[in-house]
Structure 1
Amino acid sequence: MSSSNFSILITGGAGFIGSNLCEYFLAKGHLVICLDNFSTGFRHNIEPFLDHENFTLIEGDIRDYDTCLKALNGVDYVLHQAALGSVPRSVNDPVTSNEVNVTGFLNMLQAAKETGIKRFIYAASSSTYGDSESLPKVEDQIGKPLSPYAVTKYVNELYADVFSKTYGIETIGLRYFNVFGRKQNPNGAYAAVIPKFVMQLMQHESPVINGDGNYSRDFTYIDNVIHMNELALTTSDKNAVNTVYNTAYGDRTTLNELVDYLKEYLSEFDSEIKNIKVVHGPNRVGDIPHSLASVDKAKELLNYNPQFSISQGLKEAVKWYWEHLR
């Protein structure tokens, strides 16, 4: 692929990952169209881009097919991030999660087929591994889903596979593993664990860990995820498309270790934080005990080389939160 500029539709572009992708590709000189209904995304995430000559905001919902067609008009590539995330949210309201994550996804795929886009890259999820106990997680070995959210994200992969085989659309799914970093929302019932813990510690409150704290995750810094999206978008290797990739660092950290990291890095700004005690609550319904990705496939086929370890990423994230959220 030439280095010339192209147009990218980023659905969910006002969300955490989406807005970081908007920022990155605008800085690279590409045309960026952001489609968002602001149900979970925030206007302040894209505020800096609104006057940018290469940025277009379409306020709309992927559940509306005509909106999808309009957003895809003249677009080269799709980075589909729009979804209702969160396992607990899907447990509480499986119907809406399905409408957004399955019907909305299918609308986008169908509209992409109709408008002839070059490649459809979408946010898949590590939740697809479900009850599979094997570690590390390898792309072609999955279990049964453990939540409505996991079902929706697996269905995305099935639809993408069918559309690539039936209609010749190039698709790539990126199974995100516990992404964290700047712009991640610390508030609300379904806030991700890292920004939530950071906010609690900055306010001198005890973070609440679900369970004994020995559950582990492959926490993945946002810049590794941006890197994967760019590789998926730009690869010219036909063997690298129409498949899914783990998008992770390839190491795991327990929740207890995570809190220790956060206390250590935050105490550089406020020494009292290192003495805050942790509270343990019950395990969460639908949670998998351990998550660790193999990133061998991404390294082999996309030349993926993650730059940020958990500790490097947390240092960056903590600094951002301290500067922006106090």
Structure 2
Amino acid sequence: MYINPYHKKDLSTLSFLVTGGAGFIGSNLVAYLLKYGAKKVRVLDDFSNGYRENIKEFMDHPAFELLEGDIRELATCKQAMEGIDYVSHQAALGSVPRSINDPATTNAVNISGFLNMMIALKDSDTVKRMVYAASSSTYGDSPSLPKIEETIGKPLSPYAVTKYVNELYADVFGKTYDTDVVGLRYFNVFGPKQSPNGAYAAVIPLFMQALKDKESPTINGDGFQTRDFTFVANAVQANVRGFFAPKAAANEVFNVACGERISVNYLWDSLNQAAQLDIKAIYGPDRQGDVRDSLADISKAERLLGYAPEYTVAEGLAVTWKWFERSLPAQG
């Protein structure tokens, strides 16, 4: 991956902070920045949601720095930004079900932690821009397709509330303190380094594990719900382009997706074919707080960020399956 650069600037003079850099998207961004010679890549992570295995390969790299800490502590956020030029804020507690089961912790990390990052950004003398992980969950109960940034509905989960509040804080800080942030509304990102472990794992790594174990996965609902699945390299591209996009992109939010809508059933069938298997899925109840259908309009990101998805869903699934085959132990 990352054969083609997504930037034109010389990274060797620039220092980057990636919060949640031991997580799935964060560790992929770290890999890109180090590959292209960034002066420094500092990761801030408390390993509540990330994995040391994801950054193990970077630990001896001279440009890599790990700061263990929690974004719920303002002093830690300020320390992490010292001497940094660009910030990618990926640290968050994802998962709609987790937020329903534990709204207080989701709020503390995603809202209080984000506010700390915004205050640290406001007080920083070096940071030029912060790009942060927003979410397609912000569209809530809006039935319109494709999803356009300016048209949202009411949130359907505590998680969705927290990600919308991030956008509100970013907008208010921009107007009040002249901070410069770019929000990326991710749509169902998947790829290497995404864990299938834990109660709140995403659907694609769970499917990958099921294929490796030759077991039937459980699909919530009838499986005909649709998603705009997005390969992680496309999300990395959006972050990198977000760092260096013109001033017109400041304090805006952008859909990050492929603009391609497929059902969960189609996804499972495609993975079956890729693995040369024919395993039938088991169907369970609908998942509370989920949207039925999702499809992104990515024209705003194309126009202001120069975003152009490099991988289709099929291409991304092929890369991901090869990684899971090689890296993921069979269970049972």
Match of 1:7 among 15, 19, 22: 15
Identity over aligned pairs, percent: 56
Counterparts of residues 85-104 of structure 1 (less than 5 Å): 85-104=94-113
- Aligned mates of 1:216, 1:234 — CA distance in 2: 32
**1:224 equivalent in alignment to 2:234:** yes
Question: After superposition, what is the alpha-carbon deviation per residue over 1:200-233, rounded to whole angstroms, capped at 9, x for unaligned?
Answer: 1211110111111100000000010111111100
Partner of 1:298 in structure 2? 301
Matched to 2:224, the amino acid is: N
Matched to 1:285, the amino acid is: Q
**1:45 equivalent in alignment to 2:54:** yes
Partner of 1:195 in structure 2? 205
1:120 is displaced (CA, Å) by 1.0
- Aligned mates of 1:2, 1:207 — CA distance in 2: 44
**1:18 equivalent in alignment to 2:18:** no
- Aligned mates of 1:262, 1:255 — CA distance in 2: 11
Structure 1 unmatched runs, 5+: 268-273
Partner of 2:196 in structure 1? 186
Matched to 1:219, the amino acid is: F
TM-score (norm 2): 0.95
1:29 is displaced (CA, Å) by 1.0
Partner of 1:171 in structure 2? 181
User: Secondary structure of the equivalent of 1:8?
Assistant: strand
Matched to 1:308, the amino acid is: Y
- Aligned mates of 1:75, 1:309 — CA distance in 2: 33
Matched to 1:76, the amino acid is: D
- Aligned mates of 1:148, 1:252 — CA distance in 2: 25
Partner of 1:270 in structure 2? none
- Aligned mates of 2:233, 2:93 — CA distance in 1: 22
User: Secondary structure of the equivalent of 1:275?
Assistant: coil
TM-score (norm 1): 0.96
**1:259 equivalent in alignment to 2:268:** yes
Partner of 2:322 in structure 1? 319
Partner of 1:271 in structure 2? none
- Aligned mates of 2:79, 2:239 — CA distance in 1: 23
Match of 2:311 among 308, 312, 316: 308
Structure 2 unmatched runs, 5+: 1-7
Partner of 1:233 in structure 2? 243
1:2 is displaced (CA, Å) by 4.4
Aligned length: 319
Partner of 1:124 in structure 2? 134
Matched to 1:48, the amino acid is: E
User: Secondary structure of the equivalent of 2:184?
Assistant: strand
Matched to 2:37, the amino acid is: G
1:3 is displaced (CA, Å) by 2.2
Matched to 2:22, the amino acid is: A
- Aligned mates of 1:8, 1:162 — CA distance in 2: 24
Question: After superposition, what is the alpha-carbon deviation per residue over 1:110-165, rounded to whole angstroms, capped at 9, x for unaligned?
Answer: 01111131101100000000000000000000000000000000000000011111
Partner of 1:154 in structure 2? 164
Question: After superposition, what is the alpha-carbon deviation per residue over 1:24-71, rounded to whole angstroms, capped at 9, x for unaligned?
Answer: 101111110000000010001001111111011000000011111111
* 276-285 or 126-135: bigger deviation: 276-285
User: Secondary structure of the equivalent of 1:276?
Assistant: coil
Question: 4+ residue stretches of structure 1 with deviation over 6 A?
Answer: none
